[in-house]
Structure 1
Amino acid sequence: MDDHSEPRWTVIGRSVAYDGRVTLVDHTVLLPDGSQSSYEVDESVPFSVATLVVDGADVLLSRQYRYAIDRWIYDLPGGGGQADEDPRTAAQRELEEELGIVPDDLRHLHTFFMNPGRAAWPTHLFISTAGFTWARPDASDPAEQVRLVRMRLVELDALISRGLVVDPPLIVARALGAATGYLPPLRPVGTR
């Protein structure tokens, strides 16, 4: 589908509204009807990465406390990439830093936008299914306390089906893993 024929906004100015752990940029835009507006965009990182690691009938996930929602969640190991970094390299770095593993294979699964209404950066999803070697995780960021969790795929499916998984990259990776044939179809609660 070609969206070039549909009206777009024109950026006529931009300024950093906030720059900390998050970077918000205030864009002054000209709307298709000729009116001017202001729109804040999260430009915190150039991109993010996340990887679903499959080890036989298990998946290796991270478990982290997420302050913004005040709860511990299951999610995929990953994080922000650097401007001069390739997404695959960033995914490998994040796997080693967070879970202490170096994957034997790393395949691109999909690229999507977590919040296309307010964030400018894509999330690159990867999948690893051919094994890994252990390394030493990096615990240098005290705000990032990551626990490695080995979970049966059927248990993950049950958590997703019951609405207990809230991390979008994990849900998308599970669905795309099945759609691409890397994983069996999602098994809802109560099925075998």
Structure 2
Amino acid sequence: MAGSSSGIVAGLTTAALVTVGVLAYQASANVPAGLGRPHATASPAPGASKAPRDSRNPTALPAGSGTGERVVYSLDDDRVWLVGAGDKVQRTFEVTPSAVDPPPGTYAVTSRSNRVTGSDGVPVEHVVRFADVKGVVVGFSAAVDGSTAEPDPRLRTGGIRESRADGEAMWQFATIGEKVVVIR
């Protein structure tokens, strides 16, 4: 009996290890680029140098800003597009840029906080972080008081400010792993 009992235990242990191995492989295959690293890294986005704009409709999604569900952030236009399935724009809005810009490229949302104090000392909500530029964490946020003041150029801050309503929309849309494409 003792021999068959240890054989059963060994069989169950092997089955458990195989199951854990399969689950670990599946999980690693589904981790978006940039997650699990101490800092998000950029990779060149298609058309990252300067995405063409539709002069008749300046709020139109720029060509060359990627495909699929994503957040598109234009450094030159200080504008964000929340792009859903089928490349359909769900919302677009203006933002106040941070003092530190992330380089154009493709990132992933790495962390989120409901309410914190921003690097500029302002209480913020709906913080969606996606990049690290030389030690400055960059992300979208809304000031709790609704302000969108220009950042102090003497401070190295990474908060891209949006209105509270736009911050709520970003919070609902940009969960951990969501793609963020930064363009010129």
| TM tier relative to shorter chain | under 0.3
Ranked by relative contact order (alpha carbons within 8 Å, sequence separation 6 or more), the top structure is 2
* Structure whose residues are more often strand by fraction: 1
Normalization by structure 1: what TM-score? 0.23
Structure of larger gyration radius: 2
Normalization by structure 2: what TM-score? 0.24
